[in-house]
Structure 1
């Protein structure tokens, strides 16, 4: 069983194709998930041409690496220099995050940017911050792009704690369908100790 998962994972690396749906267009290479490539999101979410580097949640999203997919997670374990799938804590830990702002209509824009992806919940973004080395702050928000919007939250990770004064990415970019994007429900959380 483990051999077949590893073989499938190696096939994904060799071809860039997802073992679950075999579409090269739907799953980018996991080898882009390195710190030097901002874990698959080298263009920050406030710049033109950005796209999320990963997804951590329960939905099936096309064209983005799912950090909840068993085969992808086994593959990433073979490459310790890549972003790893979050592992649930063995015992509940006390909350170590302090909320620095809530419900803004602008998101964080800062040079301590590490990566961004999509999540289903604020707790999922916290889990991602706990997974990425050096993460001290995360910003969740809904980036309303296009007429259909998105059910996922944007989860942006940073190396330093930030507050509302750094939230100056207020959307306003024209989308391919002619609509203008906007940012809603932007929340920021600062971690007491950076992720090791």
Structure 2
């Protein structure tokens, strides 16, 4: 009981420290059952990224930013999501990072039933680092959601259990945004984890 109370106190304090307003989904809703804060897949109406992993967490106050104090708290909680060990924006030092590219530069993103979660990243390497921390992740799809994500220039990083090909890149956008613009997908790349 004391551990639960301590964790609840830490979560409340970390949310206030990490961002203002407090990040969405930190706590019991940031788990596999809730798709790590992104229960609606990116092709669904009202979809919203569940997290951000990159060098500029201060620029994303509405998302759970996987850095700093949040990482320490996630280590204490059995949620299944952890902060990547690779610092954001870095590339692996070996020629092979354990991923094989299955498609590149498409105008459609993967849409499949084995969807796990999606968030925002600065680089493809950051998305792969996220996949490496999510149990069961076997495929990443990075792309630009043009006019989506409130105009953010960041990459969308979608994680899936199974490998996918260009045949599954059927999400071409088309969702009307709050400002009246319509989103579309650009520079979509797929990476299968070995």
TM-score for both structures, normalised by structure 1: 0.84
In 2, distance between residues paired with 1:97 and 1:13? 34
Query: 2:24 maps to which residue?
Result: 28
What's the CA shift for 1:88? 2.8
What is the count of residue pairs matched by the alignment? Answer: 181
What's the CA shift for 1:33? 1.5
What's the CA shift for 1:30? 1.5
Query: 2:16 maps to which residue?
Result: 18
Query: 2:63 maps to which residue?
Result: 64
User: Is the 1:114–1:135 contact (alpha carbons within 8 Å) kept by the matching residues of 2?
Assistant: yes
Higher strand share: 2
In 1, distance between residues paired with 2:110 and 2:122? 19
Query: 2:82 maps to which residue?
Result: 84
Of 29, 35, 40, the match for 2:37 = 40
Query: 1:179 maps to which residue?
Result: 181
What's the CA shift for 1:12? 5.3
What's the CA shift for 1:171? 0.5
1:4-24 superposed Cα distances (whole Å, 9 cap, x missing partner): xxx8x7545237833144x3x
1:149-179 superposed Cα distances (whole Å, 9 cap, x missing partner): 3221000000000000000000111111011
Structure 2, unmatched stretches of 5+, are 1-5
Give the CA RMSD over aligned residues: 2.3
Structure 1, unmatched stretches of 5+, are 1-6
In 2, distance between residues paired with 1:180 and 1:96? 35
Query: For 1:99, what is the secondary structure of its paired residue?
Result: strand
User: Is the 1:30–1:76 contact (alpha carbons within 8 Å) kept by the matching residues of 2?
Assistant: no
